Chains A and B, each alone.
Chain A
Amino acid sequence: MNSQNIFDGITDIRDDLVDGAKEARGKQKSQGGSRGRKRMLGAAVAAVLALAVFVGIFARPHSGLTAYAIAQAGYPKMAPYPSGLAQFNSKVHDAWWEDVKAQRRDLGDISSLESFFARSAQAFLTGTEGQNRVYSPVNVYMALAMLAQLTGGESREQILTLLGSGSMADLRQQASDVWNSNYRDDGALTSILAGSLWLDKDLKYNQGTMDILARDFYASSYRGNMGSEQFNKALQSWLNEQTGGLLKEQAGNIELDKETILALATTVYFKAKWHDEFSREKTLPGAFHTPSGDVDTDFMNQREDQPYYWGDRFAAVNQSFEGGGSMWFLLPDEGTTPEELLSDGEAMDFLFGSNRYQWENQKFIFVNKSIPKFDVSSQFDLGEGLQALGITDVFDPEVSDFTPVITDAEATVAVSQASHAARVVIDEEGCTAAAFTVMAAAGAVQPPDDEVDFILDRPFIFCITGIGGLPLFVGVVNYPAGA
């Protein structure tokens, strides 16, 4: 006999016992309704975003006219999330639910994706020399998938090999499924992967490729006078719009000169509320031990009964978002650096494998979490890392093949810039004092069995998994307030 048998036995207890407890339950709910509503309004907020930009250069000068769209992607419209009392309104609820179901996709076997995520994260997150680094595996995956659509021959084959796809058709289908399974824009959770292609006005292009980008990658294409201030502003404006203005500084660094004939930009914007908000009243200052000494940092504190995971050289917990997705925190053991964990097979398996939830070393206990509020960002070039991962031809104008998009036989095109910027911000804003007074009382639960402290007061790794469980962001935090 096990606990599941006990659960089943309890399920089948007599009706009068069930009804008797229901009456007591109903009384409490009718008395406690207003407090419940305040708590929903007082949910904490987490905002995250990243952008990645790939730029190709055609080695001949051109000038042109103004930009205009040549193919535009349409995003699904979603009914609003049924928060507060609306969740009991079946029409509101059903409309939201139908829209959520419409976005679901079965990604099937994603072992090749997981392998790409792990390998690329190792390539892009190491060698940071004690600085913050944020990387979006899903963002770069989408950028590479689009790049595969724009290339042919060995250029495409190298990308397909890295992403583990057997054919372009398979990759298109997978990219479309990844896009849809991560898409949510319902007022409670925003998760949008956006893509765009920017072409020089004189470029002879293949409209069919633009249409495929719009249909399968949800990417719009624009054509204009490359190198002009107006066209650069249009691109920056698009980047800012797609990333909620949170990467304004980094987007301002993106400029295309007049020798550029083609640019590919992809973004991911993710904004969600914590499922269990942090109480602002419990946020306390403390010392974070950065590589260059202690700095004062605000730590958010929360005590929850939840799974606690560990490996040979790390401990980990997760914090769920309302509506889907989670943020995972990996704390290296004392004497181990985040960089060392990034080359630790067990830690990488935990971060990017699909068996986190059935991890052998886990225990459901009370966890006293102390997590620094942080705002970390980074901007770096992907070129070297991608070449180390086997993507070489697109960087070499002698061998690169962009024939699926460029019909000009004279053109020699290569990727000259592959810029990746990302920013992750977490905090507990949006609280009301009354709501958190309630939470403060509720947080005083003593563990019936065991408890553990999880204090992120030294460099650590985080990973944000989206609605479909894929890693939207992974990063190393050395300085919570930024470099």
Chain B
Amino acid sequence: MDDFAIVELYHRREQLAIAESDKKYGPLCRSIAQRLLGCREDAEECVNDTWYAAWDKMPPDRPQSLGAFLGRITRNLSISRWRRDHARKRYDGMELLLSELEDCVPAPGTVEEDLERQQLAGIVSAWLDGLEDQERRLFIRRYWYGDPVKELAAGRGEGANAIAQRLLRLRKGLRAFLESEGVSV
């Protein structure tokens, strides 16, 4: 079933929408949650919650890309779970990603602290637009889909060390870009 038809099912309040979402995007959402949380049980709960959240959002939402829309919900649910439970549970994938993303955090005072989430997303998107295709995909695969460095290296026929270094450069590049885009000093 194509995305348009699935979105229509949500708007008609037909429960088949959830089954079709799971069939088409279940593996993608499971992969994201599993990689962020590392725990299959918690990941599965996030994916189940993804369909309910999608049910609440559509209508009124009518996403252009259903995969990105659902994957985004899964990411949000995953970090919510991490925020709630990380004091007593270890979510290795999320811990590692957040640890790496520390490199992107601008120096204090260089960016408005209460930058709106959407505004920040716009700046990150603009920075990604300026990258070479390969670099852009590498960054998004690592930090949006949560693909492990080993897998990225295997897919490119490069050493994991080389990929890790490229990701480090990209993170530092994003930090510099954010600082240069700082709304206030």
Contacts and interface: CB of A to CB of B under 8 A. Distances in A.
Interface of A: 1-22, 24-25, 28, 31-32, 35, 87-88, 90, 93, 97, 100-101, 305-307, 320, 323-324, 354-355, 357-358, 364, 438, 441-442, 444-446, 448
Given A20-B136, A90-B26, A307 B154 contact: no
B105 A15 contact: no
A13 B67 contact: no
Contacts of A31: 155
16 contacts: A6-B104, A7-B79, A7-B97, A11-B121, A13-B121, A14-B121, A20-B133, A21-B140, A22-B145, A100-B41, A357-B90, A358-B86, A364-B95, A442-B153, A448-B164, A448-B165
Interface string B82-124: 0100111110100111111110111000010101011011011
Contacts of B129: 17
Interface string B15-57: 0000000110011101000000011110010000000000000
Interface of B: 22-23, 26-28, 30, 38-41, 44, 63-65, 67-69, 71-72, 75-76, 79, 83, 86-90, 92, 95-102, 104-106, 111, 113, 115, 117-118, 120-121, 123-125, 128-129, 133, 136-137, 140-141, 143-145, 147, 149-151, 153-155, 159-161, 164-165, 167-168, 174
How would you classify the secondary structure of chain B's contact residues: helix, strand, loop or mixed?
Answer: helix
B98 A19 contact: no
Given A1-B111, A10-B144, A364-B95, 13 more contacts: A4-B83, A11-B75, A13-B140, A13-B144, A17-B129, A18-B68, A18-B140, A21-B137, A35-B154, A357-B87, A441-B154, A442-B160, A448-B100
Contacts of B117: 5, 8-9, 12
A15 B64 contact: yes
B99 A364 contact: yes
For B79, B87, B121, the residue with the greatest tally of chain A CB atoms inside 10 Å of its CB is: B121
Given A1-B106, A3-B105, A357-B86, A445 B71 contact: no
Contacts of A438: 154
A123 to B, nearest CB: 27
A4 B124 contact: no
Contact of A4 (B39, B79, B90, B113): B79
B67 A12 contact: no
Contact of A90 (B22, B90, B154): B22
Contacts of A7: 75, 79, 97-98, 101, 143
Contact of A357 (B72, B88, B120, B159): B88
A22 B24 CA distance: 14
A311 B28 CA distance: 40
A305 to B, nearest CB: 6
A10 B143 contact: yes
B150 A442 contact: yes
Contact of B40 (A18, A90, A323, A448): A323
A323 B129 CA distance: 40
A106 to B, nearest CB: 13
A373 B105 CA distance: 42
Contacts of B26: 88, 90
The 10 closest A-B pairs by CB, nearest first: A12-B121, A9-B120, A21-B140, A28-B155, A442-B150, A15-B65, A445-B160, A3-B101, A446-B161, A18-B68
